[in-house]
Amino acid sequence: MSILVTGGTGYIGSHTCVELLNAGHEIVILDNLNNSHLEAVRRIERITGKKPVFIQGDIRDTQFIQKVLIDNKSTAVIHFAGLKAVGESCEQPLKYYDYNVNGTLCLLNAMQQAGVKTLVFSSSATVYGDPEKLPIQENSPLKATNPYGRSKLIVEEMLRDLYASDPNWHIAILRYFNPVGAHKSGLIGEDPKGIPNNLMPIVAQVAGGRREKLHIWGNDYPTPDGTGVRDYIHIVDLAIGHLKALEALDSAQCTAFNLGTGQGYSVMEVIHAFEHVSNKKITYEMAPRRSGDIAECYADPHLAKEQLGWEAKHGLREMCEDMWNWQVKNPQGYQ
């Protein structure tokens, strides 16, 4: 009996693997190492004292995945594998539909053929587009504003159709807000390839001297200080959310849950918090708004609390502390 974790060497996957192993689950990590390092598997073992099975492979190979599921007597899948860069998705939409939509379709076919019908899927707050109302509830209108977001929305619809056709499926769709931070040990964390797009990794690299400055994309939003507001969530809280979702999937369902803190912070607040914990000056420059960005986005996390018994525990200070600890211990990431 094991849980298959696709994309388990990536940022969110590696932290979830640690929580699964610590909770006594057996896991099989499947990843093509397209955006991650094998070293993450060794680090997961160092943290937990347990050696996870690692299989290098691609979710788009249905027969191979079916064999992995059967050989390892898998009972459930936590599905992280996919691509996540919004800008790249606008430049190479077909690649995103291939990895994220076709990849998930192949995985679902393999699961159906292997008789494994329990799934936790990584969705994103991006499926809400520019929200009409804040905080965002799960029943808010869904709309994608770029190919990456559309790929998540298509998969969500696919999962709802699948459940409607066969109510033996147990599906949790987790809509993440903005995952940041790292494991307390500083052994695993986010290791973006090339120049990061997201705020927190750039801030950490500027503080660490790897990057000269941060551009703040817009200070004329209708927010208290004019900079964009987001719901940052500590990666360990997010990882535990997967464990809780899996535990709650003993009844047949297909339900979407927001995983966020419910608290929004502006870019300036993040910079100040990071300066405080790192004792470093974050050099920044104001720049025009980034195309496609929204002013404010934060979750109503009540449904996850009521139905999964989950809520985020870490605040912004700990998110910055743990991010900084990872940056200091791994200035060049896993390499």
User: Any idea which residues carry the catalytic annotation?
Assistant: 148
In the complex, least distance from residue 51 CB atom to ligand NAD, rounded to whole angstroms: 18
Among 153, 172, 202, 256, binds ligand UFG (CB under 6 A): 202
Positions in 239-268 near ligand UFG (CB under 6 A): 267
181 binds, among ligand UFG, ligand NAD, none (CB under 5 to 8 A by kind): none
| Closest to 31 measured CA to CA, from 69, 4, 51, 49 | 4
Positions in 277-306 near ligand UFG (CB under 6 A): 290, 293
Is 84 a binding residue for ligand NAD by CB under 6 A? The answer is yes
Q: What is the dihedral of CA 284, 288, 293, 298, to 10 degrees?
A: 50
Pick 200 or 254: Cβ nearer ligand UFG: 200
Secondary structure (DSSP) of 21-46: HHTT--EEEEE--SSS-THHHHHHHH
Which ranges of the chain would DSSP assign to H, the alpha helix? 11-22, 39-48, 62-71, 86-91, 93-96, 103-114, 147-165, 199-207, 235-248, 267-278, 302-308, 316-329
Q: What x/- string results for residues 169 through 198 when contact with ligand NAD is judged by CB under 6 A?
A: -------x--x-------------------
Residue 312 CA: distances (Å) to CA of 122, 175, 182 = 17, 14, 14
The dihedral through the CA atoms of 98, 144, 311, 187 has a sign that is positive
Is 82 a binding residue for ligand NAD by CB under 6 A? The answer is yes
In the complex, least distance from residue 255 CB atom to ligand NAD, rounded to whole angstroms: 17
Is 237 a binding residue for ligand NAD by CB under 6 A? The answer is no
Is 86 a binding residue for ligand UFG by CB under 6 A? The answer is yes
Query: 3-state DSSP call for residue 56?
Result: strand
Residue 170 CA: distances (Å) to CA of 196, 252, 253, 296 = 35, 5, 5, 32
In the complex, least distance from residue 81 CB atom to ligand NAD, rounded to whole angstroms: 4
Name 91's Cβ contacts closer than 8 Å, sequence gap at least 6: none
197 binds, among ligand UFG, ligand NAD, none (CB under 5 to 8 A by kind): ligand UFG
Is 33 a binding residue for ligand NAD by CB under 6 A? The answer is yes
Is 125 a binding residue for ligand UFG by CB under 6 A? The answer is yes
Q: What x/- string results for residues 116 through 145 when contact with ligand NAD is judged by CB under 6 A?
A: ------x-x---------------------
Question: Residue with structure tokens 């502390």?
Answer: 321
- Percent helix, strand, coil in the chain, to 5, is 40, 20, 40
Positions in 54-73 near ligand NAD (CB under 6 A): 58-60
The binding site for ligand UFG (CB under 6 A) comprises 84, 86, 124-126, 176-178, 197-199, 202, 214-217, 228, 230, 267, 290, 293
